[in-house]
Structure 1
Amino acid sequence: MSIIENALKKAGSKGLVIQDNHENSSANLKSAVGVGDVGVNKLSDTSVGSSSERQVVIDWRNLAESGFINNNNAKSQLAEEFRVIKRPLVNNIQGAENNGINRSNLILICSSLPGEGKTFVSINLALSIANERDKSVLLIDADVEKPSISKQLGVESPLGLIEYLEDDKVNFSDILLKTDLPNLSIITAGKRHKYSTELLSSQRMYLFAEEVSRRYKDRIVIFDSPPLLVATQAQILAELVGQVVLVIAAEVTPQSVVNESVAKLSNCDVVMTLLNKTRKEIDIYGHNYGYGKYGHL
């Protein structure tokens, strides 16, 4: 039995399997949905203001050269793969009232260890969902120890998530960046902070998560988090969201490591696993997909 099969068996008996294929980027997705209870109480409103008019321009050329989704090629293999990847996540959001998933529009992308491709997945998933007509996406770099989203996208901001959590005078509108992709906004990680773990576990962070989930029903929020087994921050963030995607490097991540990560996520409403960096050729919608251009992380 393979690494992922054992991990999924440990996660729970109820499952949904989807496959995708792309080295370092998407690659042979297998999604296991396990439903549990998230122990986060309903929180009172925070003063999340309206977004400012600050707009940044994404470095599309750099993204394309690094193997990310090319916004000028909507029919690329990678674009098609992420259409498959996003569908169960979006379906869970649309059916949240019936399936009992709390904060289903908050999605955490994590991995067990560094280098498994979580940031690549976070960015591509955000780009793919943002291209839908009736969805808007907020991509948050919550990997506050080693942030990389702003670098990959070629954007800068003097204020980010850490500044918002540290200073109650910093408003939501101060950290929100609109992009030249109309349905995509970004919040950067902000400065390095010695108490970043405590800030992410603070009441202000809980209130922030509750507010962005409840107030903006048409907005999907994607958190790029630190690796689960390297920092405690990912497990803290997992308690705030309704859906978690665990990115696993095929033929690299040991089964014991995957099992440990799955156990840490056992209280989450929905956990999906994405097997990344596989070289297997698969069939999607009648098309044989091999591994294409590799992404660089």
Structure 2
Amino acid sequence: MERIKLAIEKAKSQGPGSAPVAPIKAWPTVPSVAHVANDEHIEVQYTQTDVVQLDAAHLERHRVVAFNKHHPANWAFDLLRTQVLRKMDENGWRTLAITSPSMESGKSVVAINLAVSIAHQSQRTAMLVDFDLRRPQVANYLGLKRDTSLNDVLSGAADVSQALVNPGLPRLVVLPTARPVPKSSEVLSSRKVGHIIGDLRDRYADRIVIFDLPPILAADDVIAVLPRIDCVLMIVGSGMSTQKAIEEAMRHLGGANLLGVVLNKDETPVRKGYY
């Protein structure tokens, strides 16, 4: 545990655009989402996007807690949201990659909860894209069963708008990946994915797009797509990564805009039993 903390501190001092550690565990011309903004909040009307209601017990089992504002762990993701948005606003960034050094760090859970927390803000909209093409988990954690997904968009069988889903929370849409994608690194570095990222970023000025990426050390997928995304957040699972792995992952980030490092799965007792 102590080695991980020391490695994180070293990574912070070396990484460009570093921020403090957060203490927590192409589509058609007719838009599928209509934004109506005023001085107080943004209203979203889903004209073509499917709206589904999620199962609360399923979310709880997979530690997706941010949907429930009364959950004792929710405050931690709200705190992370405030830190992330402040840094992104300062730099005019609207796309955020979330990754980890290795597997089992909880990056997908953090990505989901952060997207939900952002969507709770009345002046923001959020999109969550599952770009972990080797081991997609977002749909599974949310309990989404979709006939159309990012797989169909990449194959040319569907438009982005047909694959989007609203999980019953205003101002949030999800672009899930239903199954692993062959040659994922080549796909993520393709011109088509570049166009998708650009369109998702530029369509709405109030939108924050979060991309759940694979672990950095699992393959070269993150290196392939990261230059197209504004900034990155590193998730380190307590006890899941060695100091050497963390330092190697930081070197792979190169000149990326690192927002900070999240220490996840920390068992240190904190208020309200948050993990």
TM-score bin (small chain): 0.7 to 0.9
Q: Partner residue of 1:125? A: 114
> For 1:1-46, what per-residue CA distance to the aligned partner results, in whole angstroms no more than 9, with x for missing partners?
712112223325x6432542xxxxx32xxxxxxxxxxxxxxxxxx5
SS at match of 2:228: coil
Partners of 1:198 and 1:252 in 2: CA distance? 28
> For 1:79-137, what per-residue CA distance to the aligned partner results, in whole angstroms no more than 9, with x for missing partners?
1111111112211333334xxxxxx2111111111101101101111111111111111
Q: Partner residue of 1:144? A: 133
Q: Using the TM superposition, give the Cα deviation of residue 53 of structure 1 relative to its aligned residue in structure 2, in angstroms.
A: 3.3
5 Å-filtered alignment, 1:15-34, equals 15-20=18-23, 26-27=24-25
1:88 paired to 2:83: yes
1:274 paired to 2:262: yes
Structure ranking higher in helix proportion: 2
8 A contact 1:141–1:188 mirrored in 2: yes
Quickly say closer, same or farther: Cα 1:276–1:192, change in 2 above 3 A. Answer: closer
5 Å-filtered alignment, 1:37-48, equals 46-48=26-28
SS at match of 2:218: coil
8 A contact 1:48–1:211 mirrored in 2: no
> For 1:263-287, what per-residue CA distance to the aligned partner results, in whole angstroms no more than 9, with x for missing partners?
1112212342111122234xxxxxx
Unpaired runs of 5+ in structure 2? 33-47
**Equivalent residue in structure 2 for 1:213, among 193, 198, 201:** 201
SS at match of 1:185: strand
1:289 paired to 2:256: no
**Equivalent residue in structure 2 for 1:55, among 51, 58, 68:** 51
Partners of 1:48 and 1:273 in 2: CA distance? 37
- The alignment's TM-score, normalised by the length of structure 2, stands at 0.84
SS at match of 1:239: helix
Q: What is the one-letter code of the residue matched to 1:63?
A: L
Q: What is the one-letter code of the residue matched to 2:87?
A: N
Quickly say closer, same or farther: Cα 1:198–1:48, change in 2 above 3 A. Answer: farther
Question: What count of residue pairs does the alignment treat as equivalent?
Answer: 255
8 A contact 1:265–1:271 mirrored in 2: no
SS at match of 1:109: strand
RMSD: 2.1
Q: What is the one-letter code of the residue matched to 2:51?
A: Q
Q: Using the TM superposition, give the Cα deviation of residue 48 of structure 1 relative to its aligned residue in structure 2, in angstroms.
A: 4.6
Q: Partner residue of 2:185? A: 197
Quickly say closer, same or farther: Cα 1:266–1:291, change in 2 above 3 A. Answer: farther
Report percent identity of matched pairs.
24
Partners of 2:256 and 2:235 in 1: CA distance? 16
Q: Partner residue of 2:35? A: none
5 Å-filtered alignment, 1:58-69, equals 58-69=54-65
**Equivalent residue in structure 1 for 2:159, among 171, 189, 196:** 171
Partners of 1:95 and 1:15 in 2: CA distance? 13
- The alignment's TM-score, normalised by the length of structure 1, stands at 0.79
SS at match of 1:71: coil
Partners of 2:230 and 2:152 in 1: CA distance? 25
8 A contact 1:54–1:177 mirrored in 2: yes
**Equivalent residue in structure 2 for 1:256, among 232, 244, 256:** 244
Partners of 1:251 and 1:145 in 2: CA distance? 23
Q: What is the one-letter code of the residue matched to 1:11?
A: G
Partners of 2:7 and 2:264 in 1: CA distance? 12
**Equivalent residue in structure 1 for 2:8, among 4, 8, 25:** 4
Q: Partner residue of 2:142? A: 153
Q: What is the one-letter code of the residue matched to 1:220?
A: I
Q: Partner residue of 1:135? A: 124
8 A contact 2:21–2:262 mirrored in 1: no
